[in-house]
Amino acid sequence: MQRKILEKLCCPFDKHDLKISVFNEDENQDIYEGLLTCSECERYYPIVYSIPIMTPDEYRERQLELPNLQRWGLMIDEQSNSFVLDERSKTKLIN
């Protein structure tokens, strides 16, 4: 999915802007793998096979998303039930 389309998306929970972290894109800047993070609620939304996964929390499966996050060098807080990265992963996204 193109960056300029992703930039138009907002958090489905609170409608705030999302930050884009790109892990894999092609020469046309089509983002194939990445992560959208909300500046307000700090939820993350993975981009997998060029598709942003932005379903409500109750329809998301943490265990299904975990392998991709680990592959990207990110982790979720095991203690938390929300879709928020742990502190160490957050610092990895800010470069």
Residues that bind Zn ion (CB under 5 A): 11, 13-14, 16, 38, 40-41
The smaller minimum CB distance to Zn ion, of residues 32 and 54, is found at 54
DSSP, collapsed to helix, strand or coil, labels residue 52 as strand
Q: Which is nearer to Zn ion, 45 or 72 (CB)?
A: 45
| Residue nearer to Zn ion on the CB measure, 24 or 55 | 55
CB of 58 to Zn ion, least distance (A): 15
Which CA distances in Å does 27 have to 7, 14, 31, 66? 18, 33, 10, 27
Q: Is the dihedral of CA 29, 30, 31, 32 positive or negative?
A: negative
